[in-house]
């Protein structure tokens, strides 16, 4: 045992080098070289795979891999040069054919060669970091054949020419194209891109630029879009047939840019065929096509949406400011509904219900509807018309549809409190004259309003319905109690209205005819007997009466008149002629109402139960009135009372508006106090913003009005200004 360190177990190599025949390498190589030649010359069948493999194996084993490899390179290169020449020699259309054929052969040859040289591929090549055989074959093909100066440009040109021909409608050999592009892809992604794709895209861009220029001069918008769509689909199809899938998005971008993006504005604005015309003519298919195409380019849809929005706003604005249109409110609102339907249909069918378009439509409607301050009144009149007669005989579902559409318009209103005022007035008239088509429809609308605006909005309206019902019960009770003693006299029907729920009316009374006074008193006593602590006043300006009249030749008619008219007419039971002043004195009806009343009794054709002297149109204080013996009418029942809701005259409108403004003041103040109570200290701009936010579901408060209310609250010591910062307000508890 040596005292030294233990040595690891060693195997020593042969002491003598195995001497190999120096010519051995050369000889072996020659064999292989020959084999390669044969392979390229299609004489491979005579070769022995086993022998060749062994030879290659031995070369590598005896450290002649380098020689083998470089020999391979040289041999292949020279063969490929020959091949290259033969391809170059091919004429015209045969060029691609030849190239394709030679490529296939080369691949087969390469396979065989690699099989033979597999040992080298697996050992020598990885160790020396050289290019593996297969890859080497590809690279050499690429460098020697494809990138040879003669072939490179020619190949590119022919490929692009084929595409061009196909675009002009010619049929080309797609299979061949496919093989060639596959070859390029096999040679490496940059080969396909640099040798073909890059130029393909450039040339395509030029092509489409020219074509689109040509189209845009000669086609209208719809036709152009059809053509663009067609080209786009063609390109997609082309890619699927003989190009790399990754090219699809690149070529479609080119088409989109050249054909659509570059001409976007011109297309949309095109006279007689652009976007606006399509909308007007409801060309939903064309619009759909435009939507799909423009969706592909940046800001394409933004453009479409903007143009559509300004169109809707402009036409809407025209509609609401057109005096002709505004003469008939019901027609006006119907027109609005029809417009909304039309646009909805376009958005659904052509713009695939795109939410941004929906929003644009909504904001446009909201914009122009509020340009006309009478929109709330008109919508209420529309509803009034529907509930009076328009919805007669309509199915329940259709009624709901109409009401839902009305609600939709209602939502656009900024001044919902104005609507509420008018709606209350119109509803009151409907209820009191018993002229509503369907109580279910009325209630349904109230429910919808409640859902939209909260119960405060509708609590008074519901109160009105309750009053009607209660009055029925009251009348039942009255008739039951007094049934017998009033059987001979005029028949009375009373609606008792709770003051807060119904629209405020000035208290007017007049002298009721003697025949009526008795029963009215009876009712009053009955009611006050059963309800303590209440006060009743007859609203003589809101009632109606049915009178039985007998005329000169004995014709009997039943006249349906207002209470005022009844008072006037009953006077003629005791006199044949009366002057204006006498009538005024006897009835004590306020002058303006009396004049209107007399006008409807004496000056309207077909309803002139009174005659007037002189026969002028207007009522003068000096006129005299006579009972019209000669009155005739086709109908037994003649309706003379004017109770239907009409669009207000200008002065009435002003008055209502003033009342609305007055109503808003306390609401604004309440909002300010609420906010300040919670925040304690707040600056001016924030108060205005908060108040606006709180009230916006009812109306849009005017910042100047808010400021005045703040000052009023300062005056009444609810608020004070901060001593150091004058823009800050403080809540005073």
Partner 1 sequence: MHKLGRGHRDKVQQFMTITGASEKIALQALKASDWHLEGAFDFFYSQPHIKSYTDTTRLEELYNRYKDPYTDMILVDGITLLCNDLQVDPQDIVMLVVSWHMKASTMCEYSKEEFFIGLQALGIDSLEKFRERIPFMRSELKDEQKFHEIYNFAFGWAKEKGQKSLALDTAIGMWQLLFAEKQWPLVDHWCQFLQARHNKAISRDTWSQLLEFARTIDPALSNYDAEGAWPYLIDEFVEYLNENGIIQNGQFSDRSQK
Scanning 41-49, 268-276, 366-374, 702-710 for contacts with partner 1 by CB under 8 A, the matching segment is 702-710
Judged by beta carbon, residue 278 or residue 713, the one nearer partner 1 is: 713
Scanning 24-32, 106-114, 499-507, 708-716 for contacts with partner 1 by CB under 8 A, the matching segment is 708-716
Instruction: Out of 272, 715, 724, 733, point to the residue binding partner 1 (CB under 8 A).
Output: 715
Judged by beta carbon, residue 688 or residue 695, the one nearer partner 1 is: 688
DSSP state of 572: T
* Separation between Cα atoms, residue 154 and residue 92, nearest integer Å: 10
**Measured from the CB of residue 707, what is the shortest distance to partner 1 in angstroms?**
5
Judged by beta carbon, residue 473 or residue 715, the one nearer partner 1 is: 715
Instruction: Out of 685, 696, 697, 700, point to the residue binding partner 1 (CB under 8 A).
Output: 685
* Separation between Cα atoms, residue 294 and residue 273, nearest integer Å: 16
Cβ–Cβ under 8 Å, residues 570 and 592: no
Residue 8 interacting with partner 1 (CB under 8 A): no
Residue 101 interacting with partner 1 (CB under 8 A): no
Residue 171 interacting with partner 1 (CB under 8 A): no
**Measured from the CB of residue 711, what is the shortest distance to partner 1 in angstroms?**
6
Judged by beta carbon, residue 161 or residue 683, the one nearer partner 1 is: 683
Scanning 459-467, 521-529, 643-651, 681-689 for contacts with partner 1 by CB under 8 A, the matching segment is 681-689
Residue 389 interacting with partner 1 (CB under 8 A): no
Cβ–Cβ under 8 Å, residues 237 and 252: no
DSSP, residue by residue, 61-107: HTT-HHHHHHHHHHHHHHHHHHHHHHHHH--TTHHHHHHHHHHHHHH
Judged by beta carbon, residue 342 or residue 726, the one nearer partner 1 is: 726
| CB atoms closer than 10 angstroms to residue 102 | 19
DSSP state of 387: I
Residue 621 interacting with partner 1 (CB under 8 A): no
Residue 238 structure tokens:
């082309």
**Measured from the CB of residue 689, what is the shortest distance to partner 1 in angstroms?**
11
Instruction: Out of 521, 613, 655, 711, point to the residue binding partner 1 (CB under 8 A).
Output: 711
The HSE-up count of residue 36 (CA atoms within 13 Å, CB side) is: 24
| CB atoms closer than 10 angstroms to residue 92 | 7
Scanning 260-268, 642-650, 665-673, 680-688 for contacts with partner 1 by CB under 8 A, the matching segment is 680-688
DSSP, residue by residue, 670-709: HHHHHHHHHHSEEEHHHHHHHHHHHHTTT----HHHHHHH
Whose tokens are 């794709």? That residue is 197
* Separation between Cα atoms, residue 590 and residue 538, nearest integer Å: 15
**Measured from the CB of residue 681, what is the shortest distance to partner 1 in angstroms?**
13
Instruction: Out of 88, 694, 714, 730, point to the residue binding partner 1 (CB under 8 A).
Output: 714
Judged by beta carbon, residue 591 or residue 681, the one nearer partner 1 is: 681
Within positions 201 to 260, which residues make up the interface with partner 1, using CB under 8 A? none
Cβ–Cβ under 8 Å, residues 181 and 234: no
Chain centroid offset of residue 286 CA: 18
Judged by beta carbon, residue 238 or residue 709, the one nearer partner 1 is: 709
**Measured from the CB of residue 651, what is the shortest distance to partner 1 in angstroms?**
25
For the chain, report the end-to-end CA distance as a whole number of angstroms: 110
Judged by beta carbon, residue 74 or residue 685, the one nearer partner 1 is: 685
* Separation between Cα atoms, residue 384 and residue 430, nearest integer Å: 8
* Separation between Cα atoms, residue 643 and residue 426, nearest integer Å: 10
| CB atoms closer than 10 angstroms to residue 722 | 12
CA distances from 395 to 98, 387, 413 (A): 78, 13, 28
Residue 44 interacting with partner 1 (CB under 8 A): no
Residue 707 interacting with partner 1 (CB under 8 A): yes
Scanning 196-204, 207-215, 544-552, 705-713 for contacts with partner 1 by CB under 8 A, the matching segment is 705-713
Scanning 324-332, 351-359, 456-464, 677-685 for contacts with partner 1 by CB under 8 A, the matching segment is 677-685
* Separation between Cα atoms, residue 527 and residue 537, nearest integer Å: 12
* Separation between Cα atoms, residue 329 and residue 307, nearest integer Å: 29
Helices (H), 243-354: 247-255, 264-268, 275-280, 284-294, 300-321, 323-326, 329-349
Within positions 484 to 543, which residues make up the interface with partner 1, using CB under 8 A? none
Residue 394 interacting with partner 1 (CB under 8 A): no
Judged by beta carbon, residue 65 or residue 701, the one nearer partner 1 is: 701
Residue 679 interacting with partner 1 (CB under 8 A): no
In this structure, the strands spanning 637-639 and 728-731 are: unpaired
Binding mask 627-666 for partner 1 (x = CB under 8 A): ----------------------------------------
Scanning 30-38, 326-334, 457-465, 710-718 for contacts with partner 1 by CB under 8 A, the matching segment is 710-718
Interaction site with partner 1 (CB under 8 A): 683-685, 704, 707-708, 711, 714-715, 721, 726-727
């Amino acid at each position: 045992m040596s005292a030294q360190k233990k040595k690891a177990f060693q195997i020593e190599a042969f002491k003598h080098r195995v001497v190999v025949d120096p010519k051995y390498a050369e000889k072996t190589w020659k064999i292989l070289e020959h084999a390669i030649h044969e392979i390229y010359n299609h004489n491979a069948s005579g070769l022995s795979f086993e022998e060749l493999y062994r030879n290659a194996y031995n070369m590598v084993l005896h450290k002649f891999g380098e020689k083998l490899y470089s020999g391979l390179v040289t041999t292949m290169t020279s063969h490929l040069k020959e091949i290259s020449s033969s391809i170059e020699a091919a004429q015209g259309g045969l060029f691609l054919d030849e190239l394709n054929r030679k490529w296939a052969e080369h691949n087969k040859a390469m396979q065989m060669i690699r099989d033979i040289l597999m040992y080298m591929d697996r050992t020598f090549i990885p160790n020396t970091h050289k290019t593996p055989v297969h890859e080497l074959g590809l690279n050499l093909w690429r460098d020697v054949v494809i990138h040879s100066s003669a072939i490179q440009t020619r190949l590119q040109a022919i490929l692009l020419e084929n595409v061009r021909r196909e675009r002009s409608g010619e049929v080309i050999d797609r299979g061949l194209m496919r093989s060639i592009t596959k070859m390029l892809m096999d040679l490496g992604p940059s080969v396909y891109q640099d040798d073909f794709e890059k130029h393909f895209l450039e040339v395509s861009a030029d092509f489409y630029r020219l074509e689109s220029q040509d189209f845009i001069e000669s086609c209208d918008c719809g036709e152009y879009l059809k053509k663009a769509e067609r080209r786009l689909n063609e390109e997609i199809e082309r890619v699927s047939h003989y190009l790399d899938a990754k090219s699809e998005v690149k070529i479609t971008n080119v088409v989109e840019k050249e054909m659509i993006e570059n001409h976007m504005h011109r297309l949309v604005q095109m006279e007689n065929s652009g976007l606006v015309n399509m909308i007007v003519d409801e060309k939903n298919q064309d619009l759909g096509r435009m939507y799909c195409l423009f969706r592909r380019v940046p800001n394409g849809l933004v453009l479409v949406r903007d143009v559509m929005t300004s169109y809707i706003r402009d036409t809407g604005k025209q509609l609401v400011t057109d005096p002709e249109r505004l003469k008939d409110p019901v027609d006006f609102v119907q027109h609005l509904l029809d417009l909304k339907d039309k646009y909805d249909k376009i958005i659904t069918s052509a713009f695939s219900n795109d939410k941004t378009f929906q929003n644009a439509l909504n904001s446009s409607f909201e914009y122009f509807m509020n340009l006309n301050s009478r929109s709330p009144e008109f919508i209420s009149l529309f509803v009034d018309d529907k509930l009076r007669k328009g919805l007669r005989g309509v199915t329940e579902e259709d009624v709901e549809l109409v009401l839902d559409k009305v609600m939709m318009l209602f939502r656009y209103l900024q001044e919902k409190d104005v609507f509420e005022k008018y709606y209350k007035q119109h509803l009151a008239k409907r209820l009191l004259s018993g002229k509503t088509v369907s109580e279910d429809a009325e209630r349904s609308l109230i429910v919808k309003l409640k859902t939209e605006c909260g119960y405060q909005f509708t609590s008074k309206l519901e109160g009105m319905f309750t009053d009607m019902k209660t009055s029925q019960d009251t009348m039942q009770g009255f008739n039951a109690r007094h049934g017998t003693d009033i059987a001979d006299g005029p028949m009375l029907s009373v609606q008792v209205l709770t003051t807060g729920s119904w629209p405020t009316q000035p208290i007017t009374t007049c002298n009721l005819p003697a025949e009526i006074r008795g029963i009215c008193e009876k009712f009053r006593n009955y009611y006050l007997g059963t309800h303590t602590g209440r006060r009743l006043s007859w609203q003589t300006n809101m009632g109606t009466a049915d009178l039985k009249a007998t005329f000169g030749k004995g014709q009997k008619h039943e006249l349906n008149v207002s209470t005022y008219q009844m008072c006037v007419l009953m006077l003629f039971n005791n006199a044949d002629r009366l002057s204006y002043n006498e009538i005024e004195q006897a009835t004590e009806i306020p002058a303006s109402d009396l004049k209107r009343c007399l006008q409807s009794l004496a000056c309207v054709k077909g309803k002139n139960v009174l005659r007037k002297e002189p026969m002028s149109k207007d009522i003068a204080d000096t006129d005299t009135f006579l009972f019209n013996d000669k009155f005739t009418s086709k109908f037994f029942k003649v309706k003379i009372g004017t109770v239907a809701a009409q669009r207000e005259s200008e002065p009435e409108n002003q008055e209502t508006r003033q009342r609305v403004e007055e109503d808003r003041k306390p609401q604004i103040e309440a909002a300010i106090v609420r906010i300040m109570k919670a925040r304690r200290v707040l600056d001016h701009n924030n108060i205005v913003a908060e108040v606006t936010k709180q009230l916006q579901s009812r109306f849009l408060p005017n910042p100047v009005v808010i400021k005045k209310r703040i000052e009023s609250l300062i005056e009444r010591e609810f608020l004070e200004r901060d001593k150091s910062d004058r823009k800050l307000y403080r809540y005073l508890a």
